[in-house]
C-alpha cells in the first residue's frame, strides 16, 4: 500500500486555517484524508472537544511526553505547548491516508528535517486590517492577546519561504479549491504514482 502524504498547513492566528480544514473534511471535498489531532497545554475554548479538536493535557504530562520522544514536532506558542504525536501520524500515513496537520512554522521546520513524505501550505490573510477583524470576530481572546497575536504576524509571515505553496485566504470557497488542487497534484505526481501504480506500470512494460 502506498503511504499517504502529510499536508502541513500554517498561518498567522485568525487567517482561517482551522476553519478551512474543518470545512474541507465536512464537505468531503476529497476522500481518504483526515486531520491530525495535536496535544496542547492551553485551555479548552468554547465549542472545542477533547480528542477531536485537541488532546488537552497538563504541562507536566506534555513534558513527560517530550522526554519520551513521543512527539514528531512540538513548539511553545504564546506560553502554551503544542505537539504532534509520532504514533498517531505514522499509523494514518502507513494505512494510506493523507493527513492534514495544523501547526506553526516552528513545527513545520522540524518536520522538514525528518524523513516524512510531506507538502506544506502557508495561508496569508488578505490584509492586516482583515486579520485583526477576524481575530476580534472570533470572540476567543482578550484585547491583550489579540495585540500579541498581531505583533507575531511579521515573524510568522517572514517564514513563508520554507513552504511549498502559498494561498491567500481572501475567498473561503476559492481557498478550499486551492487546497483540493494541491492534494490532487500530489496524488498525481510521478513521485506518488510510481509507487501507487507500480504493478500496473510493470505489467504494461512486460512483453
- The answer to whether 16 is annotated as binding is yes
> For residues 46 and 181, what is the distance between their CA atoms, to the nearest angstrom?
32
17 is in an annotated binding site: yes
Is residue 46 a known part of a binding site?
no
Residue 131 φ/ψ region, left for φ over 0, alpha for ψ in the -120 to 50 degree band, beta for the rest: alpha
From residue 104, alpha-carbon distances to 73, 90, 119, 155, 207 in Å are: 10, 19, 14, 11, 51
Say how many C-beta atoms besides its own lie within 10 A of residue 13's C-beta. Answer: 24
Q: Tell whether 108 is in a known binding site.
A: no
User: Has 13 been labeled as part of a binding site?
Assistant: yes
Paired sense of beta strands 80-85 and 71-77, if any: antiparallel
Q: 11 among the known binding-site residues?
A: yes
The binding site comprises 11-18
The binding site for ATP comprises 11-18
Amino acid at each position: 500500500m502506498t503511504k499517504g502524504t502529510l499536508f502541513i498547513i500554517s498561518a498567522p492566528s485568525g487567517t482561517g486555517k482551522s476553519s478551512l480544514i474543518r470545512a474541507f473534511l465536512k464537505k468531503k471535498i476529497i476522500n481518504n484524508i483526515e486531520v491530525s489531532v495535536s496535544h496542547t497545554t492551553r485551555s479548552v475554548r468554547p465549542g472545542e472537544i477533547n480528542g477531536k479538536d485537541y488532546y488537552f493535557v497538563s504541562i507536566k504530562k506534555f513534558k513527560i511526553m517530550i522526554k519520551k520522544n513521543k512527539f514528531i514536532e512540538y513548539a511553545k506558542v504564546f506560553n502554551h505547548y503544542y505537539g504532534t504525536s509520532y504514533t498517531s501520524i505514522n499509523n494514518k500515513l502507513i494505512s494510506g491516508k493523507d493527513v492534514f496537520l495544523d501547526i506553526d512554522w516552528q513545527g513545520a521546520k522540524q518536520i522538514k528535517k525528518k524523513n516524512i513524505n510531506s507538502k506544506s501550505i502557508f495561508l496569508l490573510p488578505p490584509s492586516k486590517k482583515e486579520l485583526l477583524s477576524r481575530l476580534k470576530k472570533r470572540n476567543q481572546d482578550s484585547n491583550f492577546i489579540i495585540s500579541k497575536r498581531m505583533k507575531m504576524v511579521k515573524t510568522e509571515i517572514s517564514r513563508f519561504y520554507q513552504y511549498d505553496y502559498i494561498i491567500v485566504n481572501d475567498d473561503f470557497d476559492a481557498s478550499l479549491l486551492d487546497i483540493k488542487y494541491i492534494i490532487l497534484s500530489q496524488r498525481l505526481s510521478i513521485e506518488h504514482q510510481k509507487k501507487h501504480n507500480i504493478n500496473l506500470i510493470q505489467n504494461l512494460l512486460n512483453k
